[in-house]
Amino acid sequence: MPLNLQAHLRFRFQSALLALAALVISGQSLAQDATQPANCGPRARIVEYLGARFHETVVAAGLMSEASLLEHAMSAGGESWTFFTTDSKGVSCIVSSGKAWTHVASQPAGPQT
């Protein structure tokens, strides 16, 4: 086999091994990310992040089930807002966020006369 062909084949084999190693490593990091999504973490860290980044504080909360709480954080003027859930283990996950929160006056239920 000519020397150039051997060198070419060795280069291709090494490149394939590097690509395979990269796939294995990225697959491991994807599996780790799947166990805890990027928008989840300990409640204290989520609350701290929302306060530091968006000047939000928790303004309301309600039970979704015996093991899950829905919390609403908002900046003082409503410029930004976030809803997140917290489970019984203290893990919170951001569900939704946005801008320009507006309070709406409550209307009585039922037909208006």
Which residues in the chain land under pLDDT 70?
1-36, 112-113
How far is 52 from 22, CA to CA, in rounded Å? 36
Question: How long a stretch of residues is the chain?
Answer: 113
How far is 51 from 25, CA to CA, in rounded Å? 34
Which pLDDT does position 83 carry in this prediction? 96
Which pLDDT does position 43 carry in this prediction? 96
Per domain, the residue ranges of the chain are 1-35, 40-99
Identify residue 75 by its one-letter amino acid code.
Answer: S
Which pLDDT does position 48 carry in this prediction? 96
Which pLDDT does position 109 carry in this prediction? 77
Which pLDDT does position 25 carry in this prediction? 39
Residue pointed to by tokens 């928790």 = 58
Using alpha carbons, list the distances in angstroms from residue 95 to 8, 81, 105: 51, 11, 25
How far is 60 from 103, CA to CA, in rounded Å? 13
> Token pair of 55, please?
């000047």
Closest to 39 in 3D by CA, of 87, 75, 98, 84: 84
Q: What is the pTM of this model?
A: 0.62
Which pLDDT does position 58 carry in this prediction? 96
